[in-house]
Amino acid sequence: MTKAVIFDIDGTLADLTHRLHHIRNGSHNWDGFFPACGNDSVIEPIRDLAVLIAQAGQPGGPGVGGSRGPNLAKIGAEPGHTAEYLAAYIRDPRSAKPGAKLMPAFGDKLSDAQIQELAEWLAAKK
């Protein structure tokens, strides 16, 4: 069986904020929205996470475990999930949730700056 990790592009890997004006306030200008995607910038902490996960399957890559992690699209919306909580969870899920068997710890795989940036991005997803 081939394993895969799927990341949404619009708004997850690619920053689409510069083209949202095409579809806000009742506008449905898809002819303007989609062609502008070539100007999207990458959302760095998510790209770093995608690269880390991709490398995990390579010889010598980081071991990220085989368990299924939390739904990161919703984790920032949970009550009490501040950027500080999320940073601790990303570093080591068991430190924030004892006995957790959800996702691997990334404290030894991501820098503190990467963890903080990812945690702040997730916390803003309310």
Ramachandran quadrant class, 23 (left: phi over 0; alpha: psi -120 to 50; beta: rest)? alpha
Q: Which residues of the chain have pLDDT under 70?
A: 1-5, 54-76, 99-104, 126
Residue entry with tokens 């506008």: 27
Alpha helices in the chain (DSSP H): 30-33, 44-56, 72-75, 83-91, 93-96, 112-123
Cα angle value 84/90/95 (rounded, 5°): 75
Residue closest to 74 by CA, chosen among 91, 86, 66, 84:
86
Give per-residue pLDDT as tens, 6-31: 777 878 888 999 999 999 998 899 89
